[in-house]
A = this chain, B = another copy of it.
Amino acid sequence: MRFPSKAISSTLSARLRAFQIYGANTNVGKTIVSTILCKALKESRDASAQLLKLEIHNVLIHQTSHVSKFSGVTTSCLWQFNDPVSPHLAVPQELNLTDSLLLDKVHNHISSLSNEKGTFILETAGGVHSPTPSGSSQADAYRPLRLPIILIADPALGGISASISAYESLHIRGYDVDRVVVFSNEPYRNDSYLSPKDVGDEEQMLEYYARTAESQELFDLIGDLHSRHAARIQDIKSMPQRAADKIWYPFTQHTSVAADNIRAIDSAHGDHFSVYTPPTVAVSEPAEESAEVLAPRYDGSASWWTQGLGHSNPELALSAAYAAGRYGHVMFPGSIHSPALKLSELLLEKLDNPRLNRVFFSDNGSTGAEVAIKMGLRASRERYGWSSEDKDIGIIGLKGAYHGDTIGAMDAADPGIYNKEVEWYKGRGFWFDFPKVGLSEGKWKVEVPGEQQQELGTSHEFGSLEDIFDISRDSTELAEKYAKYIHTQLHQAINVEGRKFGALMLEPVVLGAAGMHFCDPLFQRTLINVIRNSADLFPQAKLTPAKPAAELVASKATTAWTGLPVIHDEVFTGLYRLGSFSPSHLLHVQPDISIHAKLLTGGLLPLCTTLAGEEIFKSFLSEHKHKALLHGHSYTAHAVGCQVALDSLNIMNTMAEAGEFSIAPSEGKTQTSRDKLWSKWSSEFTTKLSHSPKVESVWALGTVLAITLKAQETGYASNASGWLMDRLKGNGIDARALGNVVYVMTSVSTEDAAVRGLEEVVKGFEEW
């Protein structure tokens, strides 16, 4: 499912009441209902329903004249075709009537009426899934509008089934079906009226409409539709205040939260939210307030880095429902079900890492990190013969690391703004600062932090980002310096200070929460190589002969861990977020344990997998139950999450194989191959930004764009990004800032045209 690139919000006006009529089948009386409704509204006894404007849009077929004739209201028809076959056949190809064009025209038409008081009815053609001119389903094509639905049921034999199924097709696309209308077959035999084009007796029709317009049922139906419309608006407008009173937001300082800065999300579609934003108290009311309640907002943080295939993707909704309908949740220990097994096999296959052959399921990145830590520490404890009473085993990592918010995951990160106030937090480890990659004034550079500059130099310039990832850098002088520096630091901690470490834990390539820090891949690879190959730091490492890094990478047979188990936390950077299936492929490193979440379900539901190899697995084998890996959540490997993950990974893999991402799979390549890196964002755009005097550096890789602004104070608390965030917000883009770093990301499936559109908007800011 590709989503329209244009920002369209759902339609909801405080004045115009808009509804959509779908039929459970063709020929079920949609036009009759439209006519009845129009006539009744025109003659309404309800004084408050002043019908200034009333239109019928039967977009694709040709019965507007019937409605006008018998109801007397204005009707219009955007396109009219005289062949009573399915629209995708009836519409001449040369019209090139795409879904975007169709949606745009309908949306603009409704918008043009939205300040007028009245009722608007959009009547669709055929059944709910009858094709649009482009061949897609109407239920999908009109979904961005998310108008309340009047579903006309099928009164024929077999119509109960068709009507329920039609309802379900609408419901699982997130439509609200306000009313189901059905013509009774008996005793009035209204079915003889169901085919307006065949009506021969005009007098009979007039008599029929006159009679129905008087009915109490119809009066009640209209009243009910109108009160639902009013209730919907009242509800959404009340939501920010109710949320301010009742919700405790995650990772949020509530002193800055009030009703007027909480947005109510009515729905989402593709990369856009449809939101109600309460009026800011500070701003005076505009002279003439728009009646539009909802506006589109671009989801610039991909909803905390989770989105891959667009919000409200009907394929993923169907996947979720299939697994719910087949299994619900089923007990995992001692059992296996197909979605969990196939997902495990797919991950193992696509990661293509002989060091990984087992999959452990948990619920999110944080729990997955705790599982990885438990795995790594136990493996080291067994290898090095430490006591289970020894609670002071730490981990080695990078500064600014973030692995989640449970206490164990917090403890694996150095003290900082995300954890230091937490009562039970205790940083357990050693964290290296590291050289960072960025594009600055049109040049790709690796910038070394102050405290390392004496050993590692100040800054290193490269011709391209591909040069920075080139594995032949392993044999450069800088690699040697990195190795020496790292070794010296670890020697001090381990051999001099006597500290113990049980694992190396890294976010490969980019440290997200730290501030979208792009670590020099050579530094990460060298750190891993030093730990894997230094028998003086990890004496048992001698058991396996130390090998040069390149050889280790080359040898598929190397599956035993040496030195320390290497954990890759790929929760943010994995599964195509940076363009490759795994960032480990970009790094040309095979971790011993890896963690995958966020994009795993394409952005629908929580699920996490922690993968490890047989040797680590075996360190938990014992005759004692309690030496097992003591971790398990009730919903471990829940079928709904596994099925959605399986299907969304398959969709993304198919896109990748079709060349929609240009990072080729690493298999069969030599180590020194310089894979072309891929980004949603154009290099023309990032280069231009990198020349701005306001910009320290910028980078884009895969779906992510990160802009580091020049600032006095850096880090999470910095406010240097204020102007840019305001500018983005003013242009309908919900970005997030990490101190002086502003990032915007896309889904994997975002249309290129949409990204070009974003770039045009951002480039146009005068402040640059």
Interface pairs A-B: 4 shortest CB-CB: A127-B161, A250-B632, A174-B326, A26-B158
Number of copies of this protein chain within its complex: 2
Chain B CB within 8 A of A173 CB: yes
CB contacts (< 8 Å) of A305 on chain B: these are 634
Q: Which single member of B312, B331, B404 contacts A734 (CB below 8 Å)?
A: B331
Instruction: Report the Cα distance A628→B716, complex, angstroms.
Output: 14
Q: Which single member of B143, B299, B304, B428 contacts A424 (CB below 8 Å)?
A: B428
CB contacts (< 8 Å) of A628 on chain B: these are 251-254
CB contacts (< 8 Å) of A409 on chain B: these are 406
Q: Which single member of B313, B424, B625 contacts A377 (CB below 8 Å)?
A: B424
- If A158-B126, A305-B634, A329-B603 touch, whether A612 touches B248 (CB-CB below 8 Å) is yes
- Are B321 and A640 within 8 A (Cβ)? no
Chain B CB within 8 A of A442 CB: no
CB contacts (< 8 Å) of A310 on chain B: these are 328
- If A303-B330, A424-B391 touch, whether A248 touches B84 (CB-CB below 8 Å) is no
| Chain B proximity of A646: nearest CB distance (Å) | 14
Chain B CB within 8 A of A247 CB: yes
Q: Which single member of B158, B245, B336 contacts A130 (CB below 8 Å)?
A: B158
Chain B CB within 8 A of A419 CB: yes
The B-contacting residues of A in range 630-674, CB under 8 angstroms, are 630-636, 638, 640-641
- Are A303 and B331 within 8 A (Cβ)? yes
Q: Which single member of B261, B303, B326, B603 contacts A312 (CB below 8 Å)?
A: B326
Name which residue of chain B comes closest to A314, CB basis.
Answer: B325
- If A322-B172, A634-B598 touch, whether A247 touches B336 (CB-CB below 8 Å) is yes
Q: Return the CB mask of A258-291 against B: 1 if under 8 Å, else 0.
A: 0001111101100001010000000000000000
Chain B CB within 8 A of A464 CB: no
Name which residue of chain B comes closest to A263, CB basis.
Answer: B335
**On chain A, which size bracket covers the interface?**
35 or more
CB contacts (< 8 Å) of A303 on chain B: these are 328-331, 634
Chain B CB within 8 A of A688 CB: no
Instruction: Report the Cα distance A603→B420, complex, angstroms.
Output: 36
A-B contacts, 30 listed (Cβ < 8 Å) = A25-B161, A26-B161, A27-B158, A162-B162, A165-B165, A172-B324, A174-B326, A243-B341, A247-B336, A247-B340, A249-B333, A251-B630, A252-B333, A252-B334, A252-B628, A253-B621, A254-B628, A263-B335, A268-B328, A273-B330, A303-B330, A312-B328, A316-B324, A363-B363, A370-B405, A373-B424, A388-B420, A406-B409, A421-B630, A640-B640
Q: Return the CB mask of A336-367 against B: 1 if under 8 Å, else 0.
A: 11101100110010000000011111111111
Name which residue of chain B comes closest to A171, CB basis.
Answer: B322
| Chain B proximity of A600: nearest CB distance (Å) | 10
CB contacts (< 8 Å) of A246 on chain B: these are 341, 344-345, 348, 357-359
Binds B, one of A234-242, A697-705, A759-767: A234-242
Instruction: Report the Cα distance A164→B168, complex, angstroms.
Output: 11
- Are A630 and B324 within 8 A (Cβ)? no
- If A255-B621, A325-B317 touch, whether A634 touches B304 (CB-CB below 8 Å) is yes
- Are A262 and B320 within 8 A (Cβ)? no
Instruction: Report the Cα distance A636→B405, complex, angstroms.
Output: 12
Instruction: Report the Cα distance A156→B281, complex, angstroms.
Output: 57
